[in-house]
A and B are shown apart, each in its own frame.
Chain A
Amino acid sequence: MADHLLFPGGVHPKDGKSISFSMPIQSAPLLEEYTIPLSQHIGTPAQPIVKRGQRVLKGQKIAEATDNISAHIHAPTSGEITSVSKHPITGEMLAMTNCIGPAGHMVSSLVITSDGEDKEGFTLMPIEEWQSIDKKILLERIKEAGIVGMGGAAFPTHVKLNPPQGKRPDTLIINGAECEPFLTADHRLMLEEPEKIIEGILMMKYILGAKTVYIGIERNKPDAIKTMKKHLREGIEVRELRVLYPQGSEKQLIYALTKRKVRMGTLPMEVNCIVQNIGTAFAVFEAIVMGKPLFERITTITGEPVVRPGNWRLRIGTSIGDALKMAGGVKDPEKVGKILIGGPMMGLAQFSLDTPIMKSGSGVTLLNKDEIVQYTSVPCIRCGRCVDVCPMNLMPSTMSIQAMKERFDLLEEWHVMDCLECGCCSYVCPSQRPLVQLFRLGKSHVLKKRQRELEKLKAKG
């Protein structure tokens, strides 16, 4: 039945989920220090509203969204703001400091030193009877709780759930595909908290006014499908998806479930669909019914080198090093070849154990040296495998040559901006060409060019 529920292209890499899928979600021990980056979402970074040395409570808002596409940030525990830096011009002491972000750049952040009491300070009142409450209040609550998309892109949820005027999305899609190899956070959450997830989905359905809700789950998680089906309510449907990467990508998931095609350069809103993640549904439930802001998430710590791989309820701001300590460290530090935030396909390689896990950090994956291939790329042999597997129907072979010749104008014409950076093309390439990296380079050039054009337009008036 489910064989047609897929999209063109895609690959099936070694999934590695057996390492951690049977491990129940554990709560993480309280740490001494949390480093909280101010830009954990797409959009403008949040502005800190606490001073250096100020005592904060768990769940207290410590940074505020500056404009509409932004999200609040809350303290993961009670303690003191200890980070400090000097304003470059005024010399004023600020509460911010710099830390290494997952992308490797320095990002401004707040540091909280825990006082060990873990005192709660939720300012949001629990809402029990949410069915009888105005949608706007619920939306405001989601905004106040600082909820962002937990799948990876971290787009602020209150913006996504508030479609622009004239758009009436009729389908809400819940992404339980978790197509990324090694990660099992959503899988565990579906097994352990199905009722809360369904409740959260119903809330989102109510806010959107959607008619149908699909929960798309890949067929390699039969127990999750069974559990979710058991707790289904009216208007919600569980759809089994074929196991294929990148099934969990927004546009691919919409096509697989509804056969609607999102045109390039547009949002899923155009085809009346909204996609939300399992983790987001759970966070929405907690925010509304318990009044709990988003300061912890389920994160998979996995990989062959980890002593006790598993799924943890980690507070935002836990560094990779601390997370690995919880998992018992690594078996042989000599053998570890790569540390990634996220999974092996789309994850970001890290060079420091101090990098904090953010709202979008669905996993920490460690790979052994023998699992990593250090290759030298050779010229394209025109086999066309990358064209076959590209889920966006692009032509990576030709585009990579354009990027190498620095023809970024041609790349733009060939729709490089539609590339998901899913890595299917690099995965299958027999010449081992760094395709995704070339497209990323092309994208950055195209964005720069567009920026320049915008500035020219502005200068002209």
Chain B
Amino acid sequence: MIEAVLFMASTGMILSTVIALANRFLAVETDPRIEAVEEMLPGANCGGCGYSGCPAFAKAIIEESVEPGLCPVSSGDEAQRIASYTGMEPVFSEPYVALVKCCGDNTRSPERALYNGVNDCNAAINVAGATKSCQHGCLGLGSCSRACPFNAIEIDEELRIAIVHPNLCVGCGKCIESCPRDMITMVPKSAPIHILCNSPEKAPIQRKLCTRGCIGCQRCARQAPESIKMVNFLATIDYDNPPHDLSLVDTCPVDRIHTSLGIDYIPAPKKKKGAIKSLECHKVLGVAPQASEAEINKAFADKIVHYDISLIIKMDEEEQKQAIMESEKISQAYKDCLAFDPSAHTVKEGQ
């Protein structure tokens, strides 16, 4: 017993001496400032700054005096902290976001064939050039969405289109490479107007392929010649000098205006802002769509009281049938009203 304890203790002593010596003589000299800066960086390793990851960027900040503001993920405060730590003047670069230059979902640019293969844009493009009619549009199979480290790109599975959420997007640019049709670009977050089309085709061809494609009419280019240029038959915004006049949106011919311009892809223009449409169930109960649960309960009780079983028994056959149908309709409407979520039916501004 005692030998074992002694043996273990002495082994421990010897090994700890070795470690202590190794720590003394074999230590690798690192700049502690690099580690400190790395701590302050977000640690997403997205590569948006142009370096291979956060450690490499931290090293570059200390050794090459690179701007901390290059990091697209960290907020202004974080960059400020790093800058004050390193003793530099912080220079903030304009935040960029990804823009998918297409609004042609499959209701606007229909699928020309049935595709039943690998759910990946790069794979689909090898099969007869993918199924979307437009040869330049978004396929909506989600290669960019999977490449995004920040979950900023959403794929609408039904409409087959990629939607960028500008609040989540940090502008790292990983999605650009993943797109087989090269239709994702980085645009300044502050630019209010965008052209959501990537097709340089002429109007007669474009009209057949997609109802919302740019037809190259040049109206917007004529109104803002300094910021919109024509490339082949596609109006293209010069983001060094982006247009800020929102009336440009109205120059785009009917049906293409709302969706061809505007940062968020908008599925289809439906209602005026803030308005909640009352559904059938609200009409039956006679309540407002915003009604609270108590109000709905009260309205239901008031209505259903006319169809009490004691009253129904007294009616003749024809009236009974009608009363039963009516009472069923009311209870169904009551259920629907309770399940109704007003926030899901509220439309954002700008439609």
Contacts and interface: CB of A to CB of B under 8 A. Distances in A.
B208 interface: no
A444 interface: yes
Contacts of A445: 122
B120 A105 contact: no
Interface in A401-436: 434
Interface string B106-120: 000000111011101
Nearest to A438: B118
Interface string A428-461: 0000001001101100110000000000000000
A374 B114 CA distance: 10
A88 interface: yes
B129 interface: yes
A440 B232 contact: no
B122 A375 contact: no
B279 interface: no
Contact of A434 (B113, B117, B129): B117
A39 to B, nearest CB: 15
A350 interface: yes
Contacts of B127: 104, 349, 437
A125 interface: no
Contacts of B131: 351
A371 B123 CA distance: 24
A437 B116 contact: no
A338 to B, nearest CB: 9
A441 B118 contact: yes
B9 interface: no
Contact of A351 (B122, B126, B128): B128
Contacts of B139: none
B135 interface: yes
A437 B117 contact: yes
Contacts of B122: 441, 444-445
Contacts of A440: 123, 126
Contact of B116 (A104, A352, A374): A374
A440 B116 CA distance: 15
B130 A104 contact: yes
Nearest to A355: B128
A105 B113 CA distance: 14
A105 B129 CA distance: 5
Interface string B289-331: 0000000000000000000000000000000000000000000
Contact of B126 (A350, A352, A375, A437): A437
Contacts of B128: 103-104, 348-351
A103 B129 contact: yes
B123 A88 contact: no
Contacts of A88: 232
B157 to A, nearest CB: 15
Interface string B59-99: 00000000000000000000000000000000000000000
B298 to A, nearest CB: 49
Nearest to B205: A98
A106 interface: yes
Given A351-B113, A440-B123, A441-B123, A434 B118 contact: yes
B122 to A, nearest CB: 6
Interface string B12-27: 0000000000000000
A350 B127 CA distance: 9
Contacts of B232: 88
B117 A349 contact: no
Interface in A323-369: 348-352
A104 B115 CA distance: 13
Contacts of B126: 437, 440-441, 444
Given A349-B128, A350-B128, A438 B116 contact: no
A62 B116 CA distance: 39
A103 B128 CA distance: 5
Nearest to B202: A86
Nearest to B111: A351
A444 B113 CA distance: 22
A93 to B, nearest CB: 15
B139 to A, nearest CB: 13
Contacts of A348: 128
Nearest to A105: B129
Given A104-B130, A437-B126, A351 B112 contact: yes
Q: Which one of B118, B130, B232 has the highest number of Cβ atoms from chain A below 10 Å of its Cβ? A: B118
Interface string B126-142: 11111100010000000
A440 B180 CA distance: 14
A425 to B, nearest CB: 14
A88 B131 CA distance: 26
A106 B133 CA distance: 12
Nearest to A404: B118
B135 A106 contact: yes
A444 B120 CA distance: 13
A351 B129 CA distance: 10
Interface string B259-281: 00000000000000000000000
A375 B118 contact: no
Given A103-B128, A105-B129, A444-B126, A437 B118 contact: yes
| 4 A-B pairs with least C-beta separation | A104-B128, A104-B129, A441-B123, A351-B113
8 contacts: A104-B128, A105-B135, A106-B135, A350-B128, A352-B112, A437-B127, A441-B120, A444-B122
Given A105-B135, A441-B126, A444-B122, 14 more contacts: A104-B127, A104-B129, A105-B129, A106-B129, A351-B128, A351-B131, A374-B116, A434-B118, A437-B123, A440-B123, A441-B118, A441-B120, A441-B123, A444-B126
